Structure 1
């Protein structure tokens, strides 16, 4: 199910709950504000969650529920000094995700194990011992070189056992120590630690284990971000946390050997890890002197011989302490190191090192959230606080990189390292000490694995290919006041931002035809279908959950279809052709949901073929790309943990293609607006006729019928497209045939749909007398069917029906009431009709709803869904408060006096809907009360609204 949030997720809108958290300002939405002060305080605005927070948050925190006060943040120069006051914001979703994360002992292995195996890490460990990067003691005494192979083998055994049983042998007390020069005693030096260990491991493997590197070269490099500047990392999602990560992994392309002479001030010098190794560990180069002097040596890949891959360790708990095969390999390697009998490095290793060494400058135009491959957080001692921060940074990364299948996060303290992985099903964590044998092996696997990982191994979905783009560093606007934020020049000594930020965005989505399930018509003989994405229309990406993303896309055509289009539109024979526009929706469906289990989409498709459903826009194609347990987690290795106390919900990646339409936000006249609402009411009735309810009626799920192009005469548009080689190729975007609906609009998106429950309890309230006063009472539901639903519910909170918020099951009446809320909230959201730009990206609007509306629509400070329901019932269920708020705060188009006839129509239409959905009751004393009219039929409501439209259609409505 879709996580219901306290904010409206509006198409073409910046979501309200992502209002920027800047300078400690309180937001308008429901949040958990967590503030790690030096006093270790946690402050939560939701008092009901304090007990739960005490159970899941790091030790040593004091939980309070007072709202935080703004504390000025002064500049501090020491990169290792943790500020006295930093505020990290956890919204409801992230709080719950952290509460349902689980420990995965083999997380490093099943994320990076294909890159760096345990035997390879053991061999690298032996090399690092010889170079002084590591030392090892046994029972308080330092080991001599002859004993190192046995110690490395023991570390490998510990890592292998821990990955299976989360335990380590206790028979031998090895104590490992990293060199002090690595800064391991300070969490702020984590990026140096990862870079140096990763590069040192690459040096070692490049000489001793070339075959296991598989010609991999470093593609990732970590760098520290300035914590003096209190600004967010550029191009973060709206409402992102105002503090950047402590360090990030960036593509190696962000580091260059020379600066562009036209923008010299946009670079910062960053010494490579090789320079740090030379400065701290000169002895490291003794066994590798030929490697580092080989930059001018011409070699071929066949001019070297690598050692054979070591055999896998046996991991049964009752195995012998030492693996004979690995121990033999380590002893042989020790002899080779002692006698300096190592092979000449291959060209691909020397070239990679040369490039890495010469990349001395960080191009600051590449330092932005869309380029972050892995965010990292370092703390002196508190791994729990690092975890909270890291999860928040990962959440922001996920929101600006819609091509991610999963994301990773690094955590570090002076004693521990940690890895987080989050995908659609949940969050895994793995934390280990650095001074143990297992910790040494895992640290090497983690550092080298991150450095050598490909984009897909870091979470990039293989269906997406990217293109270069750029954007100016426009300061974000305050989401509440819409005013530009003050310049931070007084808080930082950092240079001014670059003129432009350069990053990636989705270019193509390529889908395998073998995974295409709808419709059942024949497909082309080609193996793949490719879509060019013109722009991202809507992004509801999140760390965990559905992660729905929608693009305006065009399908590439070939064969006879291409020839036909080329002839009709006089297109050159060598020019690529794409047809559209289509809405390409990519999301992760809960396989336990009714829409997925019962294949409701096919039910609706059949009803449409039979002529029952006419006002619902259905997809033309659907791809099922695989379950998350298979395509991401590979549960053969990472089995489901036991005794978690919660269920891990598996999800399937699904892509849906449908005709790209205008939405309600782009209506041109009042007649078109209400025509679409009438279409929605009819769609609800049609779904009811086949036993379905929509359960997600909202702004974004209402489409308009007419495809009114901004340039109606241009049937073919020329665009430049990068097909992957960096060169722009001219291509043609051809318009598809229009897809019309029987009225001005209707519904789409059945992802949350369900069958109508066999028995829906009535929610009819009644008046009772208590103590001489009349009181409205709602009967308590009982039995299995009357159980209250959990707070994870379908739909968007502002549009949820009152009975549903109060715990009743979804119903047809709930869809009707949601439609009423759509109309009502439109009057605070859409002013004069937007200019027609279809199919280009529409304007983005940040609706500023009045406080009286925010209290029930955005859930300001509301702890539960039930309280939201109570607020909404009070607002609409008594008297005419809802009309008064509209009269005082409604936008000009709906309440202005410039067109009295139009204003009267809006009021008449709204009152007609209210009278159709509620029954009025006048108590002996007090205001009138309104009860839900449970038995109302959708076609009756549609007919009532049609009568109003007919009356006013000649009075300025159109």
Structure 2
């Protein structure tokens, strides 16, 4: 968690780093409030001195807001760069402007100046002494404002009550949601991936929909069944003074929110201290935030009023909800331990009923994989079937991910190229089953100059892509050891077929290996070409070509190209491939303008637990690294699952040695993994002493498994883990033969 959060793309103001936020989360120094925004940017159309004099009457059914942020151009970015506080000003502009548009559209009668007057009239807000209300509102720098019911003490429930009072005054019966606090000082319910939850992932306060409240004796009472991660709209954190700590803790809640609500394009959080209020928005490019002193100047008060109006009446789309997902309520049970006792409680959650892609509606059967995090691809895979397939006779797998547009070719390109070159044992999507949606930098953040923005701030632009594939069971459902081996064997043959077609996979992991159908017969499949790349001329890239022993004298003799790097040689393009390649080029980001195709691109390839030692230590990804990753797929099975038999469950604890392969600096991870894998005694002892007990209790199966693993280890030792490389010769046949 910590390493993931440290890579959240959070940038320190005034510096350019590989980040997407306005301030560093790794720094623990208190940050000052954001620099003031020009009045026109703060108040928008309400910046005129002419304001309405009547108290607004909130609409009972507010129209759906248009939440598209104001578009930014490369010129406006360059202007901000000269001011020194580049990232913070851009993000502040975007978030505040998005809130302005949301609040204005959510209620046609809403006027921020009239709203401030209403708060003064209702004795929630006290204006500066010695000045008329009109003059105080029109003067952005006027100080002396005071909230009459400001939380005291500054605790969770007091903060939630204060926010609700202001929101109710602003919108009355038109309010769509309200603030609440978790019911117990325990884990917040329905957090995906944790059966009993984690207490440190419990927000201080949350924003829940209107239906979460019941009318009891003329009072509104919270229905605690709605008080969970799947129902909350916004998560919140309050601290007395520590802004950095509040923001850091909020990132954890946002990660839980995104993983628990797979229908979100992005997630929103709010943090508040006695002097500062902030908004965090997290999409798959990373985190961006803005904060301000919420009660000092007229500008601060206006921002705070706008923020609360948006939170209470803004549309769900403005909080990241994707309207192509159709949701239905569901009942979930969880155990909670208040006061030392375990109580089984029923909560109202959400299930995804259907997902619409283009003109096709897919009904959802189950969730197959959830890889959503703060940033990155955020892959999620569902088992689905067509709406008219009532018998569910033709199940499919719907894969939704956010691809890095900085890569030269996207996944759809490689699907078309592999199909045209007759690749076998790899699941490929048909052209009609590929859907491209909006991106993060333009579609969510509202910047027109995507390439310039990404290069300037080292932010990855990610585009939502959906692929529909034939459904096959994941490798974890293998029936016996033979079934496991057949699945792995088919995937290796699929990798070989790709490699012969000048495509290197570069993301071999357990989740990318599938079994062959429900009967368990036949060899398996390889999936996921999101990290794939073209290799150079195959005459220059024979698998058996050795490399020099000396690292200093080692030179490139072919091999895979890093995405975004111009090739020294073009891949082989046979005449028979011409038509297919012309079609595939339609899906390639290389057809974009030079500015777009040169955007920032993250360098990592692979899934960390399965990544080869050499890749972790900085070597360029090549064939031998993928073959090493196949070994880890087999090696980690007894640590991942509790038994070799069907009905297996995920193991409750992974050995610390293996956990350390995935923590901290990647170079260090590679060194630790190589230290274990390069020593046969340590490699085998880890298995025989710390793998799941259910495997070790079946000596016949476990012995067969160890024998197979030992054969593969001896094949890979000279090229993967030896401390002095005697050979780099390895081919697919070397791995296939023991299987």
TM-score range, shorter chain: 0.7 to 0.9
- The aligned runs of 1:513-912 (5 Å cut-off) are 528-557=359-388, 580-593=394-407, 597-611=408-422, 613-620=423-430, 621-635=433-447, 646-708=457-519, 743-756=522-535, 793-830=604-641, 832-835=643-646, 844-846=649-651, 848-856=653-661, 858-859=662-663, 863-890=664-691, 898-899=699-700, 905-912=704-711
> Could you list the per-position Cα deviations for residues 529-559 of structure 1 after superposition, in whole angstroms to 9, with x for gaps in the alignment?
11111222211111222111111111112xx
Q: 1:435: Cα distance to partner? A: 1.9
Determine if contact 2:643/2:649 at 8 Å carries over to the other structure.
Answer: no
Is 2:738 aligned against 1:945? yes
Q: 1:676: Cα distance to partner? A: 1.8
> Could you list the per-position Cα deviations for residues 390-422 of structure 1 after superposition, in whole angstroms to 9, with x for gaps in the alignment?
222111111111111111111112222211111
Determine if contact 2:642/2:649 at 8 Å carries over to the other structure.
Answer: no
| C-alpha RMSD over aligned residues | 3.9
Measure the CA separation in 2 of the matches of 1:764 and 1:878.
24
- The aligned runs of 1:133-148 (5 Å cut-off) are 133-137=124-128, 141-143=129-131, 147-148=132-133
Q: 1:505 aligns with which of 351, 375, 385?
A: 351
SS at match of 2:514: strand
Measure the CA separation in 1 of the matches of 2:170 and 2:135.
19
Measure the CA separation in 1 of the matches of 2:546 and 2:178.
59
Measure the CA separation in 1 of the matches of 2:102 and 2:161.
24
Q: 1:219: Cα distance to partner? A: 1.4
Measure the CA separation in 1 of the matches of 2:719 and 2:405.
42
Indicate how the Cα distance of structure 1 residues 903 and 379 shifts in structure 2: closer, same or farther if over 3 A, else same. Answer: closer
Q: 1:934 aligns with which of 728, 734, 739?
A: 728
Q: 1:153: Cα distance to partner? A: 3.2
- The aligned runs of 1:252-267 (5 Å cut-off) are 252-258=210-216
For normalisation by structure 2, the TM-score amounts to 0.75
- The aligned runs of 1:373-392 (5 Å cut-off) are 373-392=233-252
- The aligned runs of 1:311-350 (5 Å cut-off) are none
Measure the CA separation in 1 of the matches of 2:287 and 2:668.
29
Q: 1:643: Cα distance to partner? A: 11
Which residue does the alignment assign to 2:119?
Answer: 128
Q: 1:807: Cα distance to partner? A: 0.9
Indicate how the Cα distance of structure 1 residues 700 and 588 shifts in structure 2: closer, same or farther if over 3 A, else same. Answer: same
- The aligned runs of 1:428-447 (5 Å cut-off) are 428-433=288-293, 434-447=295-308
For normalisation by structure 1, the TM-score amounts to 0.58
Measure the CA separation in 1 of the matches of 2:636 and 2:94.
49
- The aligned runs of 1:911-926 (5 Å cut-off) are 911-919=710-718
> Could you list the per-position Cα deviations for residues 145-166 of structure 1 after superposition, in whole angstroms to 9, with x for gaps in the alignment?
xx43343233xxx4xxxxxxxx
Indicate how the Cα distance of structure 1 residues 604 and 225 shifts in structure 2: closer, same or farther if over 3 A, else same. Answer: closer
Q: 1:443: Cα distance to partner? A: 1.1
SS at match of 2:464: strand
Q: Rg: which structure is higher?
A: 1
Q: 1:888: Cα distance to partner? A: 3.8
More contact order relative to length (CA 8 Å, sep ≥ 6): 1
Q: 1:111: Cα distance to partner? A: 3.6
Q: 1:250: Cα distance to partner? A: 0.4
> Could you list the per-position Cα deviations for residues 322-375 of structure 1 after superposition, in whole angstroms to 9, with x for gaps in the alignment?
xxxxxxxxxxxxxxxxxxxxxxxxxxxxxxxxxxxx451111111111111111
Indicate how the Cα distance of structure 1 residues 199 and 879 shifts in structure 2: closer, same or farther if over 3 A, else same. Answer: closer
> Could you list the per-position Cα deviations for residues 43-87 of structure 1 after superposition, in whole angstroms to 9, with x for gaps in the alignment?
xxxxxxxxx989633439xxxxxxxxxxxxxxxxxxxxxxxxxxx
Q: 1:460 aligns with which of 314, 321, 326?
A: 321
> Could you list the per-position Cα deviations for residues 118-153 of structure 1 after superposition, in whole angstroms to 9, with x for gaps in the alignment?
98112212233333333333xxx422xxx4334323
Q: 1:232: Cα distance to partner? A: 1.3
Measure the CA separation in 1 of the matches of 2:405 and 2:528.
17
Structure 2: gaps of 5 or more residues: 7-22, 32-86, 564-600
Indicate how the Cα distance of structure 1 residues 928 and 249 shifts in structure 2: closer, same or farther if over 3 A, else same. Answer: closer
Determine if contact 2:182/2:204 at 8 Å carries over to the other structure.
Answer: yes
Moved more, 408-417 or 239-248: 239-248
Q: 1:913: Cα distance to partner? A: 1.8
Measure the CA separation in 2 of the matches of 1:185 and 1:698.
51
Q: 1:929: Cα distance to partner? A: 6.2
Is 2:217 aligned against 1:246? no
Measure the CA separation in 2 of the matches of 1:795 and 1:436.
50
Measure the CA separation in 1 of the matches of 2:315 and 2:641.
44
> Could you list the per-position Cα deviations for residues 755-775 of structure 1 after superposition, in whole angstroms to 9, with x for gaps in the alignment?
236799999796xxxxxxxxx
- The aligned runs of 1:420-431 (5 Å cut-off) are 420-431=280-291
Indicate how the Cα distance of structure 1 residues 461 and 781 shifts in structure 2: closer, same or farther if over 3 A, else same. Answer: farther
Structure 1: gaps of 5 or more residues: 1-16, 18-28, 34-51, 61-99, 159-172, 207-216, 260-357, 476-486, 513-527, 563-575, 710-739, 767-776, 837-842, 922-926, 947-958
Q: 1:800: Cα distance to partner? A: 0.9
Measure the CA separation in 2 of the matches of 1:120 and 1:245.
31
Q: 1:829: Cα distance to partner? A: 3.4
Q: 1:403 aligns with which of 256, 263, 266?
A: 263
Q: 1:847: Cα distance to partner? A: 5.6
Is 2:136 aligned against 1:151? yes
Which residue does the alignment assign to 1:349?
Answer: none
Measure the CA separation in 2 of the matches of 1:707 and 1:598.
33
Q: 1:454: Cα distance to partner? A: 2.2
Determine if contact 1:547/1:587 at 8 Å carries over to the other structure.
Answer: yes
Measure the CA separation in 2 of the matches of 1:111 and 1:200.
19
Determine if contact 1:547/1:588 at 8 Å carries over to the other structure.
Answer: yes
Which residue does the alignment assign to 2:96?
Answer: 108
Q: 2:176 aligns with which of 219, 236, 255?
A: 219
Which residue does the alignment assign to 1:737?
Answer: none
Determine if contact 1:763/1:808 at 8 Å carries over to the other structure.
Answer: no
Determine if contact 1:600/1:754 at 8 Å carries over to the other structure.
Answer: no
Q: 1:607: Cα distance to partner? A: 3.2
Q: Would you say how many aligned residue pairs link Structure 1 and Structure 2?
A: 617
SS at match of 1:601: helix
Moved more, 181-190 or 365-374: 181-190
Determine if contact 2:331/2:348 at 8 Å carries over to the other structure.
Answer: yes
Measure the CA separation in 2 of the matches of 1:112 and 1:890.
55
SS at match of 2:315: coil
> Could you list the per-position Cα deviations for residues 906-925 of structure 1 after superposition, in whole angstroms to 9, with x for gaps in the alignment?
3442233223323399xxxx
Indicate how the Cα distance of structure 1 residues 845 and 827 shifts in structure 2: closer, same or farther if over 3 A, else same. Answer: closer
Determine if contact 1:765/1:931 at 8 Å carries over to the other structure.
Answer: no
Measure the CA separation in 2 of the matches of 1:874 and 1:440.
58
SS at match of 1:194: helix
